[in-house]
Amino acid sequence: MQKFLDDLLSRMTLEEKFGQLNLLAVGFDITGPILNNQVDEKIRAGRVGAIIGAYTVSAVRPLQEFAVRQSRLGIPLLFACDVVHGQRTIFPIPLGLSASWNPELVRRTARAAADEATAEGLNWTYSPMVDISREPRWGRVMEGAGEDPHLGALIAAAMVSGYQQDDLSKPDSLLACVKHFALYGAPEGGRDYNTVDMSRLRMFNEYLAPYAAAVSAGAGSVMTAFNEVEGVPATANRWLLRELLRQRWGFGGFVVTDYGTLPEIITHGAAADRDEATVSALAAGTDMDMASEFFITDGARLVKEGRLAAADVDAACRRVLTAKYQLGLFQNPFKNLDRDTAPLRVLTPDKLQLAREAAVKSMVLLRNERRTLPLTAGQKILFTGPLVARQRDLIGAWSAGGDWQRAVSLRAALEQKFGDTGSGITFAQGCNLIDDPAYFAKLEKSCLLEKSAQAPAALRAAAARAAADADVVVAVLGEAFKMSGEACCRADIGLPPQQRELLKALKLTGKPLVLVLMNGRPLTLEWEAANVDAILEAWFPGTQGGPALVDVLFGDAAPTGKLTMSFPRHVGQIPVYYNHKNGNRPYQENGWFTSRYQDVPNDPLFPFGHGLTYTDFTLGAPTLDKTAIVSGSGDALTVSVPVTNTGSRDGTETVQLYIRDMAASVTRPVKELKDFRQVFVRAGETLTVVFTISEEMLKFYNADLRYLAEPGEFQVLTGSDSARLQCATFRLVQ
């Protein structure tokens, strides 16, 4: 490969090298203004290295032919898209997938997405998004795996493996792009594109692990974040891209900007003009410019003026060409561009079945008083709410080439299962998804929103009358899909007012009340948790969301998901997360001069790791086979946790293991997730779950950013969520 690349680079002009660093936006899925034109001519001139937004064989093949057959050197293009949770078959949003606590399931969905994306001519995806976030107001939490670095790292590695496999040259391998490097999940105020500021100690101990895991798994590319890191925009941050990513972590792939971040270096105030922005980005280690065309327009001149190092340009170009070589594009630039095979690989029965399985395993049963769920077929059931029949919202934001009209709604799935008459199932709209005129106007066109001709009070009254004849009421409420995702931040993350008013009207009927949620973020649900009988969090569940909901609601499948982000009681608590520090005066319920709110408890409404099912489990206290680990010896101890299914139904429980370092050279969290096991336990059965704790699990970054474990006392805490834990103690000794 190196000999081939050496020869190719020796024949390239400076302008052609910069062409490989130029990523143009065209086609269907653009996340900002179109900043380029005359795409065909630029490709023929060797001034384009990659394209974002063009997919399907009919769209991709002509562009690749321009590059390979009509440019001077015939260098193939990369074709990219945001394949975030599926290409045509859409899986649950990533936050929902993470709630499965099943990295292997996540890997399988990424593998299926890669197969469909490559069938449509793509060879590069802007995924996984691995930003740790404790900020539910931020719309992009729907793209990530939540608040925990350990689980986030496992999911990041699984997605890279699913996309890339072990050989990028395989026909169905898709180049992964880890985003957003780095720290983008911690914007002030929960607003997209806002300032991020934190210490390096916090970066290393709490935020960087998923990026490092994705790099270790072999991710071929990394995308810079919009935000600054230590006062320097990520795209121009030499410490971030050269010292941390390349030197410390050994990353050998290429770095691409996010959409338009080169001109935004100027907006940040870190460059005076486009020349300074271009120089700072390339010198810092950014390789490819998405959409702004700063590199291709100004780069060659800046090299000739001595402001840019030619060696940096060569290194960046080599990294991009290496990815193309590894993908097999020099050997066959038209791989996956056969019109006859593409339809055989998308929306296939096995992928639709996987979408249904993933949706089921992503759902989280938050509350279930008096065994309201599962429903039974003989009941008279009213389904109400604006999301019962809507298809567009099922597939959520960042749904790539997904056709929302192929998504199966809950109403359609109910009618498929029970027929449209004589089943005891009735429907009522109940309310509009959004009533607020200003908010409705923002979302109407993109979300295909409609408002009923009936007044809101009339819709509620009709639903309440229908509820009077029902045995149980199921309200399907939440967000329109465009209420989460990029640039979709919310200051109020409760249900829209008219939806809560519907619930209040239904509550007055006295009928058992089930709330099914479709949404892209944790919501504030304190009134709902106190007043409805059951709450099922379905997220935006994807193409097969309706059938999966029927499976869970009627007990053909039991919910097994667990939250990966805490649900706050009130926005005033944010950020609220399980792995916080103790502080000098930790919370005491009856203490005055302690770290507490006067008006709400400190703890979240639903904690990290929470999730119920249709049976009951009792977890015993952890027992240790010894009480000390000897440092440096390769020693370990085992933790045994008995799990008893005390209910009448077989079920799956996720047993979670947390560790607390009681005293260290820098303050440590009150608990950190270190391991978990999903176990299937039959009714009445007791199983013992065994964990192994090694010295490696006790390591952290100290004040000098050395990764080590310090001798001392530790607590091991086990349970079914981060709040209900039992404890044992051990020591690390010299």
Q: Alpha carbon of 98 to those of 141, 154, 538, 574: distances in Å?
A: 11, 10, 12, 21
CA 70, 72, 78: angle at the middle one, nearest 5? 70
> Kind of pairing, strands 725-733 and 712-719?
antiparallel
DSSP H helical segments within 305-436, as ranges? 310-326, 349-362, 410-418
**Identity of residue 545:** G
Instruction: Sort 250 into a burial class: Cβ within 10 Å, 0-12 / 13-18 / 19+.
Output: exposed
d(CA 457, CA 252): 61
Secondary structure string (H, E, C) spanning 255-312: EECCCCHHHHHHHHCCCCCHHHHHHHHHHHCCCEEECCCHHHHHHHHHHHCCCCCHHH
CB-side neighbour CA atoms (13 Å) of 445: 2
d(CA 204, CA 357): 35
Do 325 and 295 contact (CB within 8 A), yes or no?
Answer: no
Angle between helices 545-553 and 410-418 (to 10 degrees): 60
DSSP H helical segments within 68-147, as ranges? 94-98, 103-119
Residue environment code for 41-75, b if the CB has 16+ CB neighbours within 10 A, otherwise e: ebbbbbbbbbbbbbbbbebbbebbebbbeebeeeb
* DSSP notation for 467-497: HHT-SEEEEEEE--GGGSSTT---S--B--H
Selecting among 82, 115, 148, 258, the annotated active-site residue is 258
Instruction: Sort 239 into a burial class: Cβ within 10 Å, 0-12 / 13-18 / 19+.
Output: middle
DSSP H helical segments within 541-606, as ranges? 545-553
d(CA 289, CA 296): 9
d(CA 438, CA 434): 10
d(CA 608, CA 564): 5
d(CA 374, CA 297): 61
User: Annotated catalytic, 258?
Assistant: yes
Nearest to 348 by CA among 166, 159, 538, 544: 544
Angle between helices 103-119 and 149-164 (to 10 degrees): 30
Do 274 and 302 contact (CB within 8 A), yes or no?
Answer: no
d(CA 650, CA 682): 4
Report the Cα 164 to chain-centroid distance in Å.
Answer: 18
Q: Can you tell me which residue has the tokens 């997360």? A: 577
Q: What are the structure tokens assigned to 215, written together?
A: 């790099």
> Kind of pairing, strands 289-290 and 364-368?
unpaired
d(CA 270, CA 280): 9
Backbone angles phi, psi at 460, to 5 degrees: -65, -45
**Identity of residue 159:** M
Q: Which residues are catalytic?
A: 258
